[in-house]
Amino acid sequence: MNQLDALKQFTTVVADTGDFRQLAQFRPQDATTNPSLILKAVQKAEYQGLLQDTVRKHRGEPLDMVMDRLLVRFGGEILSVIPGRVSTEVDARLSFDTNGSITRAERIIALYQGEGIHVDRVLVKVAATWEGIAAAARLEQRGIHTNLTLLFSFCQAVACGQAKVQLISPFVGRIYDWYKKSAGAAWDEAANAGVNDPGVKSVRQIYNHYKKFGIKTEIMGASFRNVGQIQALAGCDLLTISPELLSALAASEPPLPRLLEPEAARSLDLPAVNFDEAGFRFALNEDAMASDKLSEGIRAFCADARKLDALLQAG
Residues with catalytic roles: 125
Cβ neighbours of 151 (radius 10 Å): 33
Contact call for residues 144 and 111 (beta carbons, < 8 A): no
CA 213 vs CA 11, 153, 159: distances in Å: 20, 18, 14
Q: Which of 105, 143, 150 is closest to 129 using CA atoms?
A: 150
Cβ neighbours of 183 (radius 10 Å): 12
Q: What contacts 222, CB < 8 A, 6 or more positions away?
A: 16, 32, 149, 169, 170, 171, 172, 173, 239, 240
Task: Measure the CA–CA gap between 124 and 135, rounded to whole angstroms.
Answer: 11
Task: Measure the CA–CA gap between 16 and 245, rounded to whole angstroms.
Answer: 10
Handedness of CA 251, 252, 255, 258 (dihedral sign): negative
Task: Measure the CA–CA gap between 4 and 13, rounded to whole angstroms.
Answer: 8
Continuous segment of H or E residues that includes residue 198: helix 198-212
Region class of 150: left (phi > 0), else alpha (psi between -120 and 50), else beta: left
Task: Measure the CA–CA gap between 306 and 153, rounded to whole angstroms.
Answer: 27
